[in-house]
Structure formats: structure tokens, C-alpha cells
A and B are shown apart, each in its own frame.
Chain A
Amino acid sequence: MQHIVNIRNKTYWSKSLVFGSIIALSLSSCQKMYNLPEDKDFISENINYSSKEFYPILGRTNVMGSINLDNSTLPLKFEIINSRYGDGRPATDLFQVKPTYTWIDMYDGEEKSLEEIERKRVKVDRPLLEVDSAGRFILHYTATNDLIEPRPTDSTTLTQDVRFFDLKITNSGGVRYVNDFVFIPWRQRDYEPNNDINPYTGGIAPDPLSPRDPNRRDYIIPTYMENIVGEVSNIPLVNNTLKKDVVVYIRRFEPGPGNKLRFVFLDKNQNPIDPAKFNETRWENLVHGFNMTKTAEYVQYDVAYPIPLTNYPTFYTDNGNAKAQFSYSRIGFGGTRSTSIFRLNFRIFQEGNWEIVFHFRNENPRFADEQ
């Protein structure tokens, strides 16, 4: 080295410091300095629902609404706001909080006792109507006629009777509103099939063939019937629009809460038929019930409501409905064994002591063997 540097020299250090500070300055350039757009969630202006009018049936769990998120960033926060009647009155009845069954484990139809089923669900306080994180509206089964006034029995839908609400959707990208959802509930129909209920009044449904005849009514019929022959006529019993030989009543045999389900069979004189006559029926596996009691008048189970408990396909269900199949056999002509079957696919939404009655209205079924 040509020069001897005196490192105690002040200017030497101050000059060296200049370079250090230049480097520090240039390294400090960062993203914020450039004022670039922030990384925030996307919330589309096109968020919308395929339909904003909801006509749920009270007393059962309804999941409503199909949202088009247009790829908005999840999670989104949904909030029902500005719930009102058409004339501006606030509509707060929708948000009453009731203890509601929620599942904590999956019901799979393999449970061996009611307690085992009950361990899989707990009651939690939930509002009657809520919106979940996916933007679906959930009207719980706890929303009954008493809590939410259904549409008027005279079948009018006047604006002042209709509930409206808006939805506020938020994420870090901003806020969007979807306005003017329409909510017009049907009154409770606690079971399916329920073509015997007038959906407007909750009363008895008229006969579709002569709707104005107050003496005639509509009946539920079994889902399937095969080879049931009349005791006297010896011709198959039929159900069609003109003639209904076997009809079904789904009704409470005791008012109030309960967890019983009873199957009753009535002959043409409304007298009970001994269930034992349906000799091929698998009574143990008829429904997912327990503590079967079988009398000469009925067969009764302890069950968990609703029936079926979930949509999960189990041994006891058929396409989302409970499946109750009855059959009996006898010796037919020429000594062959003739098997007869009838079946009802049904659902019951509310707790209670229910009975399902099969009424052979016009002619009793033939149980006797042929000679």
C-alpha cells in the first residue's frame, strides 16, 4: 500500500460514514414506499342469489338460498339486516332464540339406543332464522306457527303481511349488500306425505276431484302396494284417483311432546286389525326405534324425532324418507305361497306421540289361505 492511513483521523471516519449511510438509505426502499395497491380480499359486485324469494314450510329445517359468490374471497361475513314487513314495521319474530338440536357427531343408523342417538346431538340456542358462513339461510324446525305468523289463510299475499330483509356481506375487501329478500312462509305441515292437509288453512284438504264438496276429502295413500286382495271380492285392492281402498292417517295419538311412534291398522269398520296378521313384517327393523311393544291393536316404538333424523342413507330410509314396509303371506291358489306387500315412505318433523294408521276403507285384506 502506497499510503499509510491514520485510522484515528476524524475525516477518514466521517468520509467512511458517508458511504455507509448511502448504502443504508438505498436498502431501505420498501414496498410501502411505492404506494402499490394493497393485498386485500376480493368482494365481487356481482354477488347475488339465484332467487331472493323464500317460501319455506314452518316447523321443519329449511336450508334456503343459492348464492353466486363470483369467486369472492372467503371467508365472508353474512349478516341479516333491516328485517321488516312491507309496510315498514320491523319483523323481529324471525330471530327469536330457541334451543335447537345441532349435530355434534354423525347419525348413521347404527345406534343401539335412544341415548346413543341423543349423545350425538345437543340443544343449542339458535335464532329461528339465521344465515351461515356459506350464505345459506337456515330456518330451523323450531320456527312454528306460534312463533312466526304464516301467510294468511285466505291465500292473499299483501305487502304488509310479507317480511323483507337485506343481507350485508363483508370481508376485508369491502361491503356488499343484497337487498329485499322476500320471506313468505307456509304454515306447518308436520309430516310428509301431507296431501291431506290444506296448505293455506292447515285444515283437511279437499278431494282434488271435487274440491268444493265439503263432504269429501283427500287421503294419503301407501307409497307401494302389491298383491293385496279383498277379503270378499278376491280382487286386488287399488288406489287411484277414483278409488282409494287403503288410505293412511298420520296423526298424534296424544297431544304434547313425546317420543313414541305407533303403527295401527284399521279394517273397513274402523276396528283395529291385529298387527300379527302381517306375519312377514320385520317388526324389529321397521323403523329406527327401540322398546317395541306389540299389542293386538298396534305396534309401538320409542323413537327420536324428526324421522328420519338426517338425510344420511341408512337401513331404514329410502331416498331421504323413512321406509316402513309391511307384508304378509298366505297360501294362494294351487298351494303356492302368495306374499303381499304395502309400504309407506314418510317423514315426521315435530316431536310427539305419533301414530300412522293404515285404513282398509272399502274392504278388508284377505289373510286366509286358499283352500
Chain B
Amino acid sequence: MENQIKSIIIFLVLSLYSWDLCAQNTSIKGKVVDSKNVGLSGVSVSTATPYRQLTATDDNGNFTVSVPANATLLFKSVGFDDVRFTVKAGQTNINITLTSSDSDIGEVVVRGYATRSKQLNTGSSTIITRDEVQDVPVGLEQLLQGKVPGMNIQVNTGAPGFRGTTQIRGLSSIAVSGSGDQSFLQPTSPLYVIDGVPLDADRASEFGFEQQGPGVSPLSMIPQEDIESIEILKDAQATALYGSLAAYGVIIITTKRGKSEVPRVRYTHNSFIQTPPKLRETLGGNLERWMKIQQIINNAEFESQIDQISQIPHLADSLNAYFNNSTDWQNLYYRTTYNQSHNLNIDGGNEKLAYKANIGYLNQQGIIRNTGFERYSANLRMDYNPDRKFKFVGQVFAQLGKQNKGDGLGILQSGVANGGESSTLLPPPSFYSSSTSYLSSINTRNDNNVRLIKPFIEASYEVLTGLRVSTTLSYEFVSSTEDTFTPAAANNQFSQVYSFSGRETQLYSRNAINYSKSFNDKHNIFFNFFNEIRDVTRLNTITRQARTPNDQFEGPLGFDGYSSRGGGISGFADEKSLSFAFGGSYDYMKRYVLDLSYRMDGSSRNGFENLYTTNPAIGMRWNAHNETWAEDLSWLSLASLRMSWGVNVMPNSTLDRIYGRYVLNGSYNNLIGIGIDYDLIPNPNLKPTTSSQYNLGLDFSFLNNRIDIVYDTYYKEVTNLLFDAFLNNTTGFNKLQSNDAAITNFGHELAVTVRPLRPTSNLKWTISVNGAYNKDILTQLPSHYSGQFVRFDPDNNGQHNIFRVGTSTLSNYLLINKGVYANDSDVPVDPNTGLRYRMANGEFFQAGDPIWEDRNGDYILDDRDYMRTGNSQPLFTGGAYTNLMYKQWGLTINASYTAVRTILNNALARRLNLMNNPLGQGGDNKVYVPLDDVNVWLKPGDQATYPYPYDYSRSGRVSPFRYDQTLWAEDGSYFKINSLILSYNFDKDVVRRFGLQQFRMYVSTENVITFSKYSGPNPEAVTSMGRDLSSGYPVPRTYNLGFNIEF
């Protein structure tokens, strides 16, 4: 009777409120049990159509939900098969029995384009679900930072549309190019496989900083709202089936599928503010003038230097209106920006036919003026499964990225860096006066477009039970253009034009046969055989013309031999590759698993000597928790031991490495001569880089999955690395690209996830911490270097690198700084000559000069006193993640850390060097920066860290702030709060009244705070060589307000 009254009341209440399209809700109680009739806790209960999580069962397996009649409920729990249950009208109490599933971990992994149960996976991989990459409108790589042990992501540029560096399991390349601050390591990004099609993410950045063309990162083109899951494959067993492109790891991105019978429309909006980091402090206006005059007078060596003041108008003529300013130049270049993104996701369908459309728009203005990124994307997908045998997928990606790099190169903004250092006495830009660098940064019109379209179809058919054949075809077309027009005022009164046009196509096809069979429910086998065909073409052309007629006429332009700055074909590829791969797997009662795989990659780039490279792999796994004797260990949910070995072979060949190159080498008799390029001798015997890796992994799960531990240790040997071997000049050639370098990485990775509260608690709390230790050792160099090669920086005052076998690969080769001489008498005296320690040019050191270690003891500082020091690669990387859910509230904090890494604070070096020319005029007329925060030597007896900065007379002879010293070497360890997300999910019953299924609001900030002992601006914004690039693009902080609406 009481129940009936309750039902009636509920009925009445519900009828009052349910005036929308939805059916009336019924309250349903129930219990979920396992096959032994024991209540199961923590089973997720959701509606199947549309998919929406409702609740989870309590300790005894009981649950209560409120759903419309005839709704289909979906019960899910780790280790059990999913159960669907349709509520009949009037039913209020249901009992559900879950049967133990084959996979104790419900997750699946993708191996060689085939889906496998994670329990049978012998390799090492980490899965990131969509929830972990939402709610923060920044690039995908930024969102992955600190989430995967062993994947070292450094967000070292804030340039919109560009990406930082990603390394999986340490260093895979030792090719260093460029000079000075701008030295960079050849990028070795992992292979990205997006919905089953591989994508080479390095293609936009193969020229390092000096990108030709737009340089839009392919990853920036994928809207995060469209991501279903991301899997990162780390060891060679996992990657071997992806062949040669996968030598640096594989990241598999799966976009969302349609899965709701009632069509769902989900709209996500983000409005975000990006603010520049704290800028350099400067002294402005008259203060700058007086500080400079004071410096000149106090430190003059000759009277003529003091007399010079009167010849410098901006110092002497304080009444001159032109020089009577206090201009904040940095403020003219940097700004706070307001940006937005929109994403619309429509999906629907049933098990037979499902469809999805995702349409996105992102507009991100750069914090440096005249830079920015805009993205339009569409991803349409259709899954058709008329019966269990036949499956068909059709998908189209279309993306348009528009980018503005200003007059910089994207990551590098040298013009802005120089312009921001201009003297504050100079007048701000105005109608009649302006500085060239300012005009160049602001008025250069840079228009970059990347247009990508990629149709994709896949069909598969199950010929016999367990035997499935499938075929996949995709064609990707990318068109990249860049047009830069520099107006005359910004370029010494002559306008100029740069134009880049690139076109790239990839035809990709895969045909596969899968077979799985189980014998007596004990022996299970799985075979996967597939081939891949890739046909990649690329053609990039450049036109550069200086001194074009005027600002109004931008083209078409004719050729002018005097003003043409060259161009022509800058990138060309025509690669055809054919691969065969075979993977076989056997397991006994899911306890003992053996994986074997073998892949052959043939490529037209390999050269005829070794057309096919081979990638074998073997993996084993022992699932101890499936052993009968482990059944009574109730605290143990999962215990597995994984072992694997595999090889990835990556060809190094390019046309010019194998065949040499012809270049224009001047003219003779009015004819342009074409001759051999004597820089690089052709090497037809170039071998492919081989990366072989051993992995040992342990997976544990305790107390009903409330504690998860994944541990991996690996040993990765990369041999046949490219290394320039300089040749004896009698050969006529300068260098040979040899294959004789090798490095070894080994390390440990640990990820721990803890859910400290009971699954039934209102408060849900997940803490996840991970860390990786990676050490790289150089094991081989070309033999004639006998174990060491010093890469002297081509820059005059550069920072050198040393490669020595047996040590960490990328060490610096610098002068060792041990402080500052407090007094003249502290300078050591040569007992033989009676002379003080001195520079090679004879300048004796004195108080206030840096103490550079005299390594060879000859009391002369010269290039023999360099020493191997530091390691630019971090030893420890990792992150932490915590998620708190209380009723409708959610709080997520992501953090990442990097530890034990040497970085060179070139930003500080540059700042201190600003002091060495107070007499500078024109382009050398720089700001005066306060040095109160820097421990500099000022008077005899001072125990300081940094030398005396104001002695402009001697600075040319002593160079106290030279770059090639350990004074700038600092520990680059940091702990960064990446993001902070607070969300509120409005009550379903309330939002339903407005015709919505869901309404969720969130606020988030990104790049929240970095804790570090580093004295420079940001220990993360350093190059892959660990150099703080003062001309880099600073990483902004993002404040975001966003919401999801679901109809």
C-alpha cells in the first residue's frame, strides 16, 4: 500500500515536470550480481540510447535510476561482459547477472590495425580516454603532456598552430643543425595513426626552425572534441607492425563514432583569453638616459669615451622631442588575446548503420601581434554493418588551417625579440615615424593556408567463422601555401615577396586477412596478415623576389636576375612503398600469451641494395591472475608479466644522400654553370637506422582495480644513426653522411592510479601519478673519430656540443665558470712567468671578472679550456593527474614535471649583454634593464654569481657574458600545473525542461603555474638542445570558459 502511494506521488510529480518530448521517467531499483550471485559494486549503469552514464552500484550491488519507460539500460564493469536491458513499462525492480568476460581489462588495444584485448597485449602501451583531453582549448600535444610515462612532451613554443617536441623513450637522433641559440635536434616525432591511416607528423618541421611553408602542425588540425581515445605504443613489439615509420613510437588516435539510436547533437563552445607571460623589466625614459650616462662616466677607460656622450643625441640632447620618450616597446609587440572555438558533433544510428559528423572552428590569436591560427575542420563518418559478416566504413576528413607568422618563422620571432629591446627613448610608432623592425613585425602580411582533404573507406567481410578479410583505401591531399609580403617601409624602402606553394598527396591502401580460432576453449590462436601500399608525392616550390616595384603591386612578378633571391624546388618526394606484415598470437587459457610478428617494408627510397627492410618482433605475457592458484588471492585483481623484443628499421636515404647533388655554381661566359656540390659525397651504401628494443613490463591491479600499477623497463638500441663524417680534404669532398653512430636508451616507467574512495561514495576521486627515467648513452661514433666528436658551433660565440662514447649523448662543451673574482689578488699567478691568469688576447683578469677554470693550467684562457658538461636531455619526466567528482561538480588538475636536465639560460645572457654598449646608436641603441634581481659583482670583495656588467670598455676584450660558459647552465627541473578544470553538470531533470539532454559548464586555465629553481622566464620554453631561446615565442597562459550542450 505504501509502495503504491509512493508510486502515485512519484507519478504525479513526474507528470508535472515532464512536459517535454521525453517519455515519463520511472524510478527503477535493482541489483547487479555475478554468476555466483554475489553483489557487484561499482558497476556503471547508463542509458544505451542516447549513451549517458547514470550511476554506479553500491557495495552490495544495488542501484537506483530514474529513466523513461522502455529505455535500454547498459551495465558495464571491468572484467565482465556488457549487459543491455530494456525496461518494460511498469517494471520497477530488476536483477542483472553479469558474466565474467574474456578480458579482465575491458579495454582493447589496436595492434597492426587489428583490435585485440588488452589482456593479451604483450607490448607496452598507454591509453588516454577522451575525458582526459577535453575542456582546455589548446593543442593536442599540450594535453597529452605528463599523462604517459615515457613520452616526453615539452611545450616549448606558444606559437599558435605549432607544436612542441615529443619524444617517446628518449633520444633517437643525434643530428644537430643550425647554430647558436637556434641549434636544434632533428625532430623525431612518433608516427600518428589517425583512424587507421598513418600520418607523418614531422613533415611540417623537417627544416627545424627555419620552416619553409606554413609549418602548421598536422596535430593542430584535429579538434580535441572529436577524439574518442588515444593510444601510445612505446615498445618495439607494439610498433613493429607499423614498420619503418614507427621507429620513434606510435600514437593511435581514434575519433568518435556514431553510437546513439536517437540522434544526438552536441555543441561545445570555448571562449578563452590568452595572456603573455611576465615581460622583461626595463627602465624607461629619462631614467634610461641618466643610467646610461652614469655607466659611461663611471666605467670609462679613456676620456674620449666620456666626450662621446656629447656626440650622442639621445643622451646629450634631452630636450629633443624626438628622443624625449618613454616607449614600452614590448607592449607594442605583445598582447592579451580573446579567442573562441566552436564544435558541433552530430551522431546517431544503431548497430547496423551509424553516422557521425563533427564540424569545428577555432580562432586563436597569437600573443605576439600579427600572428595567429584559424582552423576549420569537418570529419564525417559512416559505419554500416548490415549483418555480422559485412562491415563498411566511409569517412571524410576536411581541414583548413590558416596561420599568420608575422615576419618571424613561427617558432622564432627574432624581429620581435630585437625590436622589443629598442631604447625607450625612441619615439613610438606613429604616422610619420616608426622603426623598421616594428613595421616589419606588424605590417608584414603573412598568409599561410593548409588545406587537407582525406577520404577513407574500409570494407570487411567474414568469409568463414573467425576469418575476416578487409580492405582499406585512403587518399590524402594537402595543399600548403604561404605568401609573405613585406612593405617597403619595413624593408629599407623596398618591398619584397616570398611565396611558397606545396602539394602533397598520399595514396594509402591496406588489405588484411584476420583469423581467430579457439580450440577446446583453451588454446586460442589469432593471425593477422596484411599488406600496405603507400604512394607519397610532394612538391614544394618557392619564389623569393626582393625589390619589387611598390607596395601596391604584389604580382604577378617577372624574373629579375639581380633582385631574385632564388627559390625553385625546395622539397620533392615521390615515394612508393609496399609492405607485408604478419602477426600471430597464441594463448593458453589467457594465461600464457605468445606474439610473433614480422613486417617487411619496401620503399623506393631504400635504394636497390636493400630494397626491403625487415621488422621482426616477439612478445610474451603471463597472466598470473588467471592461474587457478591465484584465485584465492582476493586482493589481486590483475597481475601480468610482459616481455618483448622487436626491431624497427628506418631508411635514411634521400635522393641527394645517395646520388649527390648538382648546384648552380656561378656563371662563366655569361652562362650559368651547373656543377657537383662538393659538400656532400654520395653514399650509396647508406644503411637504414635500426632501433631494437627489449621491454619488460609488469601490470598489477589490486583491491578490485582501486590500485593500478603499470611498470615497464626497457633497453633500446638505435644503431646506424646518421652522422656527418668530415673527410680529408684530399678527397675533394667535405663530408660523408655515414651510418656509424649509435645510441642506447634504457629506463624505467611507472604509472600508479589510485581510487582511494569506495565506488559507491558520492565523492569520486582518482589520483594518477606517473614517472619515467630515461638515460641515453652514446655507444658508437664513426671509427676515425676514435670515440669523440666536438661539434663546434658555427656561431662565433656559440655553445658547442660534444659527443663522447660512453656518456650522455648531447652534452655541452663549455668553459667552466666558478664564480667571480672578488678581488684582484684572487686571480691566480703563473709561477713560471709571474703573470696573472689572462685571456688569450693578453687581457689580465681582475676583480669582477668571471672565474673560468683553467683546465690545462697554462694560465691562459683559450679554447683548450672547454670541458664536457651537462646533459641537455632530461632524466626524469612524468606527470600527475587528479580528478574529483562530487555530485554535479568536477575538478580536474593535470600536472607534469621534468627533472635533472641542464638548460642554458641564454635569455639572461642576452639581457646582461644589453649592458655592454651604453654608447650604442641606431640599431645598437638598446634598453637599459634593471639588474636588481641578479647577483652581480659591484665592488671589490663582493661574492657574486655574475660578473661586473657595466664595464663596457673591457667587455669587448674579456666578454664576461660570453655564451659558451657554464654560468648559464642551470638545472631545468620544473613542476608545472598544466591545467585546472572546474565543471558543473546541470541537473538532468532541470535541463530537460529546456529541451536539452545535457548542459555542462566549465572554467579552466592552462599553463597555470610552473615551480622551478630556474632563474630564467620558463624552464620549459627551451629548445630540444636545452637552450633558452630569448627570441622564441613565449608560451601564454590560457583562461577559458566553456560549455557543452547536448540536444
Chain A residues in the interface with B (C-beta under 8 A): 1-3, 5, 11-12, 15-16, 19, 22-23, 26-27, 29, 31, 34, 36-40, 42, 44-45, 61, 63, 69, 71, 73-76, 102-107, 120-121, 124, 132-136, 138, 173, 309-312
How does the 8 Å CB contact mask read for B932-971 relative to A, with 1 for contact and 0 for none? 0000000000000000000000000000000000000000
Tell yes or no: B21 within 8 A of A by CB: no
* Minimum CB–CB distance for A45 against chain B, Å: 5
Min C-beta distance of A325 to chain B, whole Å: 24
- Cα-based distance from A8 to B775 in the complex (angstroms): 43
Q: Scoring B residues 698 to 740 as 1 if CB is less than 8 Å from chain A, else 0, what string do you get?
A: 1010000000000101010000000000000000000000000
Docked-complex contact B711 and A26, CB < 8 angstroms: yes
The answer to whether B807 touches A39 (Cβ under 8 A) is yes
A66 to chain B, nearest CB (A): 11
| Minimal beta-carbon separation of B838 from chain A (angstroms) | 10
Distance in angstroms between the alpha carbons of A239 and B104 in the assembled complex: 108
B38 at the interface (CB under 8 A from A): yes
* Cα distance A10–B865 in the bound complex, in angstroms: 65
Stretch at the interface among B43-51, B109-117, B784-792: B784-792
B residues within 8 Å of A by Cβ? Answer: 36, 38, 624, 629-630, 632-636, 639, 641, 696, 698, 700, 711, 713, 715, 744, 746, 748, 775, 777, 779, 786-788, 790, 802, 804-807, 813, 825, 827, 829-836, 844, 855-858, 864-868
With a CB–CB cut-off of 8 A, which chain A residues contact B38?
2
Which chain A residue has the least Cβ–Cβ distance from B855? Answer: A74
CB of B858 within 8 A of CB of A22, answer no
Verify A312–B856 contact, CB threshold 8 A.
no
Ordered by A's residue number, 19 sampled pairs between the chains whose C-beta atoms are within 8 Å are A2-B36, A2-B38, A2-B634, A3-B632, A19-B700, A29-B696, A34-B715, A34-B746, A36-B777, A36-B806, A40-B806, A71-B802, A76-B856, A107-B834, A133-B856, A133-B857, A173-B787, A310-B834, A312-B844
Q: Which one of B698, B806, B833, B866 lies within 8 Å of A311 (CB-CB)?
A: B833
Identify the closest chain A residue to B696 (Cβ).
A26
| Minimal beta-carbon separation of A216 from chain B (angstroms) | 39
Ranked nearest first, the 10 interchain pairs of A and B with the lowest CB-CB distance are: A134-B858, A310-B834, A133-B857, A103-B834, A102-B831, A42-B788, A37-B806, A134-B856, A74-B855, A39-B806
Q: Are A310 and B833 in contact (CB under 8 A)?
A: yes
| Cβ contacts under 8 Å, A107 to chain B | 834
Chain A residue numbers with a CB within 8 Å of B748 are 27
Q: Please give the distance in Å from A107's CB to the nearest CB on chain B.
A: 5
Contacts A2-B36, A39-B807, A45-B786 given; does A102 touch B856 at CB 8 Å: no
Give Cα A36 to B742, complex, Å. Answer: 11
B630 x A15 contact (CB < 8 A): yes
Q: Which of A11, A19, A106 contacts B639 (CB 8 A)?
A: A19
The answer to whether B856 touches A36, judged by C-beta atoms less than 8 angstroms apart, is no
Q: Return the contact of A73 from the options B629, B636, B827, B868 (Cβ within 8 A).
A: B868
Interface pair B832/A63, CB less than 8 Å apart? yes
With the chains together, A103 CA to B827 CA distance in Å?
A: 13
Rounded to whole angstroms, the CA-CA distance of A63 and B830 in the bound complex is: 12
Contact in complex: A104, B829 (CB < 8 Å): yes
Smallest CB separation, B1031 vs chain A (Å): 30
Contact of A26 among B624, B633, B698, B844 (CB under 8 A): B698
Contact at B744–A36, with CB atoms within 8 Å? yes
**Distance in angstroms between the alpha carbons of A42 and B807 in the assembled complex:** 11
State whether B834 touches A5 (Cβ < 8 A). no
Q: Which of A73, A121, A124 has the most CB of B within 10 A?
A: A73
Provide the residues of chain A in CB contact with B857, threshold 8 Å.
75, 132-134
| A69 and B864 form a contact (CB under 8 A) | yes
Among B634, B715, B835, which residue has its beta carbon within 8 angstroms of that of A312? B835
List of A residues within 8 angstroms of B641 by Cβ: 22
Task: Say how far B427's CB is from chain A's closest CB, in angstroms.
Answer: 47
Q: Which residue of B lies closest to A23 (CB)?
A: B698
Q: Is B806 a contact of A61 with CB atoms below 8 Å?
A: no
A136 to B833, CA, bound (A): 13
> Which among A1, A103, A124, A134 is the interface contact of B833 at CB below 8 angstroms?
A103
Asked whether, in the complex, the Cβ of B831 is within 8 Å of the Cβ of A104, the reply is yes
Establish whether residues A15 and B633, one from each chain, have CB atoms under 8 Å apart when the complex forms.
yes
Asked if B786 and A44 sit within 8 Å, CB to CB, the answer is yes
Task: Give complex CA distance A219, B715 in Å.
Answer: 78
**In the docked arrangement, what's the CA distance between A61 and B834, Å?**
12
Chain B residues whose CB sits within 8 angstroms of the CB of A16 once the complex forms: 633
Given known contacts A15-B630, A103-B834, A42 and B698 CB-to-CB distance under 8 angstroms: no
Q: Is the CB of B634 within 8 A of A34?
A: no
A31 with B36: CB separation less than 8 A: no
Q: Which residues of A contact B827 (CB under 8 A)?
A: 106
Q: Which residues of A contact B777 (CB under 8 A)?
A: 31, 36-37
Question: Is A75 a contact partner of B856 (Cβ separation < 8 A)?
Answer: yes
Across the interface, name the chain A residue whose C-beta is closest to B632: A3
B639 neighbours in A (Cβ, 8 Å): 19
Residues of A within 8 A of B634 (CB): 1-3, 5
Whole-angstrom distance between the Cβ of A48 and the nearest chain B Cβ: 14
- Cα–Cα, bound, A40→B777 (Å): 12
Most buried by A among B787, B790, B802, B827: B787
A56 and B255 CA atoms in complex are apart in Å by 81
Q: Which A residue's beta carbon lies closest to that of B800?
A: A71
- Across the interface, which residues of B come within 8 angstroms of A34, CB to CB? 715, 744, 746
Q: Which residues of A contact B833 (CB under 8 A)?
A: 61, 63, 103, 310-311
- Partner pick for A106 among B696, B713, B829, CB 8 A cutoff: B829
**Chain B: CB-nearest residue to A19:** B639
Please report the C-alpha to C-alpha distance between residue A173 and residue B787 in the assembled complex, in whole angstroms: 10
A8 to B711, CA, bound (A): 29
| Distance, CA A351 to CA B300, complexed state (A) | 41
In angstroms, Cα B813 to Cα A86, docked, is 42
Closest A residue to B808 by beta carbon equals: A39
Whether B858 pairs with A132 at a CB distance below 8 angstroms is yes
| Interface pair A44/B788, CB less than 8 Å apart | yes
Residues in B neighbouring A2, C-beta threshold 8 A? 36, 38, 634
**Once the chains are docked, how many angstroms separate the CA of A44 from the CA of B790?**
12
The answer to whether B633 and A12 have CB atoms under 8 Å apart is yes
- A5 x B858 contact (CB < 8 A): no
Query: Which A residues are CB-close (under 8 A) to B830?
Result: 103
> How many angstroms between the C-alpha atoms of A223 and B775 in the bound complex?
66
List of A residues within 8 angstroms of B700 by Cβ? 19
Nearest-neighbor residue (CB-CB) of B627 within chain A: A15
- With beta carbons under 8 angstroms apart, the residue of A26, A37, A71, A75 that contacts B779 is A37
A141 → B minimal CB distance (Å) = 10
Contact: A102 with B696, CB < 8 Å? no
Q: Which of A23, A40, A132 contacts B832 (CB 8 A)?
A: A132
A37 vs B632: C-alpha distance when bound (angstroms): 47
Residues of A within 8 A of B836 (CB): 106, 312
Q: Whole-angstrom distance from the CB of A142 to the nearest CB of chain B? A: 12
Task: Select from chain A the residue with minimum beta-carbon distance to B634.
Answer: A3
17 extra A-B contacts, CB within 8 A, seeds A36-B744, A38-B806, A63-B832? A1-B634, A2-B634, A34-B715, A36-B777, A37-B777, A37-B779, A42-B786, A42-B804, A44-B788, A103-B833, A106-B827, A106-B834, A107-B834, A120-B834, A133-B858, A136-B858, A309-B834
Which residues of B lie under 8 Å from residue A136 when comparing CB positions?
Answer: 858
Shortest distance between the CB of A172 and any CB in chain B (Å):
11
Shortest distance between the CB of A214 and any CB in chain B (Å): 41
B788 to chain A, nearest CB (A): 4
Q: Is the CB of A71 within 8 A of B834?
A: no
Residues of A near B632 (CB, < 8 A) are: 3, 5, 12
Contact A31 B829 (CB under 8 A): no
Contact indicator A31/B775 (Cβ below 8 Å): yes
In the complex, which residue of chain B has the Cβ closest to the Cβ of A103? Answer: B834
Minimum distance in angstroms from B807 CB to a CB of chain A: 5
What CA separation (Å) do A13 and B962 show in the bound complex? 63
Q: A312 contacts B805, CB within 8 Å? A: no
Q: What chain B residues lie within 8 Å of A76 (beta carbons)?
A: 856
- Among candidates A39, A40, A74, residue contacting B856 with C-beta atoms closer than 8 Å: A74
From residue A50, how far is it (CB to closest CB) to chain B in Å?
Answer: 13
User: Which residues of B are found within 8 Å of A74, using beta-carbon distances?
Assistant: 855-856, 864-865, 867
What residues of chain B lie closer than 8 Å to A134, measured between beta carbons?
A: 856-858, 864
